[in-house]
Amino acid sequence: MVLLADGFLIDCGSSGYGEKRAQILAEIINEVGPSRLSREGMRP
C-alpha cells in the first residue's frame, strides 16, 4: 500500500508486482507532485 500525504491509501496488491507498482507510483508522485494527479477517472 501507498499512503499519500492527504491520508488516502492506495492498495497496489500484495505480490511482488504490488511492491513494484507502489515504487513506480511513489516515483511518479515525487517527480510531478501530487497536484498533477487527478481523482477523475479513478474507481471509487
Give pLDDT tens digits for 16-43. Answer: 788 888 888 888 877 776 666 666 655 5
Bridge partners for 10 per DSSP: 2
Instruction: Quote the distance between the C-alpha of residue 14 and its chain's center.
Output: 14
Is residue 14's pLDDT more than 70?
yes
C-alpha cell at 29: 508522485
Question: Once rounded to an integer, what is the mean pLDDT over residues 2-14?
Answer: 73
Cα–Cα dist 16/23, whole Å: 11
C-alpha distance from residue 25 to each of 11, 29, 38 (Å): 11, 6, 13
Nearest to 11 by CA among 42, 34, 35, 41: 42
